[in-house]
Each structure stands twice: as C-alpha cells, then as structure tokens.
Amino acid sequence: MKTSEEKRAYGRAYWKNLTPDERAHKTAVRHAYFANMTPERRARHRAYQLRYLKTRPPEKIEDRKAYQRQAMNRRRQDPVYMAGFKAYYKEWMTSAKEHCINMYSNGEACCAWCPQSDIDVLCLDHIDEGQTKAFTEKYGHRGGKFLFAKLRQMDYPPGFQVLCSNCNLKKEILRRRTALVKTC
C-alpha cells in the first residue's frame, strides 16, 4: 500500500515523462469533460465536492487554498496563459449578454417598448424597482456584464425585461414624474 506522498510523487513523475503533445491532449480531454457536462451532472459534481470538503480537517483546506493562490500567481506571470484567459473571458462575457438579451425578450432580441434591436444599446431592466433593491442587496450586481453572468448562472430568474437605453431612460423619467406627483 503506497502512502499518499508516494502516490503524489508517482503522479508527478508520470506527468513529467509525458511529451508536450500528450500533456496537451490530456488537458484537452479534461476540459472537454467539464465543458460538456449537463447542468444536473455539474450540480451533482459540485455537491460531491462540497460533501468531501466538509470531511477535511481545516488546516488541509487552508493548505489547499494557499496552493491554489500560488498556482494562480504563477499563471498570472505567464503571458501566453493570460492572453488566452483574457480572450476566453471576453468571449464568455459577450455571450452572457447575448444569452440574457435573448432569454428575456423571448428570442426576439428587441426592446419591449419600441422596435430597437441593436444589441449594443439594448440592456436589461428590472421590471419592479422594489425587486431591484432586493436583488442588488442579495447579489451585489445592479447591472453590467457581471449581472448578465450572474443571471446566466442562476438560470434566468424572472423579474427582468429587455429595453433599449432610450426606453430605459424614459421609464426612469416617468417613474420620477409619478413619484413627484405622489409627494406633492
């Protein structure tokens, strides 16, 4: 029976003996496995990881976090990695906006008040102002690309609609006007 240290040494030696092509292939297979997971499968995987983490002693978890921080810092020094990461991140964020706009306009990708359909000027609008506050307090994103990413992660909860910038401004003007009338 090998100890965990021996197993790790074996794993490291194995990885070192591979040719760069073999390493790239193994990495690609691993990435594809995660990229092609269904949402249910990913949730099961995540639940398993969380259950496993709970059985670990706290100092082991701290070790792991320190190791991950180190690995991340090492990767940040690598210009090739960073260029790839930035490209991936940009594409992921752009697609998050496209997905959100399509989901909240029922696939029409068009303003709910007017026929504007230029995605550059379309944005998401919280239908109810009270919900906005609750949502922002809970998740910290009032708008922007982080909101799109968050909504995609949450599988598009209701409460949003697609408006163009003009109609969004118009809605705000109407809201303030009615608020003024009420307080007078």
113 binds Zn ion (CB under 5 A): yes
Kindly report the backbone phi and psi dihedral angles of residue 177, in degrees, each rounded to the nearest multiple of 5, phi listed first: -65, -45
- To Zn ion, the closest distance from the beta carbon of 102 in angstroms equals 16
Cross-strand pairs, 164: 122
Q: Shortest distance, CB of residue 174 to Zn ion, whole angstroms?
A: 13
Q: Is residue 114 a contact point for Zn ion (CB under 5 A)?
A: yes
Task: State yes or no: residue 116 binds Zn ion (CB under 5 A).
Answer: yes
**Is the CB of residue 158 less than 8 Å from the CB of residue 135?**
no
Closest CA to 172 of 105, 126, 104: 126
Q: Which is nearer to Zn ion, 102 or 116 (CB)?
A: 116
**Of positions 100, 122, 149, 164, contacts Zn ion by CB under 5 A:** 164
Among residues 100, 101, 111, 149, which is the contact residue for Zn ion, using CB under 5 A?
111
CB of 36 to Zn ion, least distance (A): 38
CA proximity to 143, closest of 132, 152, 153: 132
Q: Cα 138 to chain center, whole Å?
A: 16
For Zn ion, the binding residues (CB under 5 A) are 111, 113-114, 116, 164, 167
